[in-house]
Amino acid sequence: MWMTLALVGGMLGAAAVPAQAVSPQAATSRSAACPTGWGSLVKTAPAATTTSVRDVRTGHHTCYDRMVVDLPGAGGSGIGYTVRYVDRLYQDGSGRPVPVAGGAVLEVRVAAPPYDPETGRPTYPARAGQPLPGVDLTGYRTFRDARFAAGFEGDTQIGLGVRTRLPFRVLQLPDRLVIDVAHGWTDAG
């Protein structure tokens, strides 16, 4: 009987371990389930918008890194795009190679110009072959480089350098196009 009481007492003592004993990082990483099944094949949608690209920004999340192309005025009309992995990025129009750092390169082509079609004035002040204005990828798990390739015949072309070929998804939201690239191939992120 004494052994049974000692055993029960020991179990109760173990159950009373304070919550701080488990690190918040360990709890978060175990509870965060990352989406899977995006794949790495080309993703595309037909063009329907008549607006221009105004900005490109990035962010990092628990399971993926994100690029957002802002197209104010696109609303729900549908934003045309093609996003695909390429061996090398070539600038539309000239065919010149655009160097993009990383183990793999995603070509992001948006069916909207980086200029106002009526006036020809730039709406997104990027320069061919240069890093995207205002985009700093320091500390990202997946993104390595983001280069403006071209604004040609009503399209905007961007090279997104990533760590390696990873699954990605493309979302059309009102007034923006979102490209998420997963941190890994499994649900562990």
Residue pLDDT, tens place only, 133-171:
999 999 999 999 999 999 998 899 999 999 999 999 999
Rounded (5°) CA angle 150-91-49: 40
The two structure tokens encoding residue 152: 């040609």
In this structure, which amino acid lies at residue 135?
V
**Mean pLDDT to the nearest integer, 81-109:** 96
Q: How far is Cα 25 from Cα 66, in angstroms, rounded to an integer?
A: 22
DSSP for 68-91 reads EEE-TT-TTS---EEEEEESS-B-
pTM of the model: 0.80
The CATH class of the 43-182 domain is: mainly beta
Mean pLDDT of the chain: 83
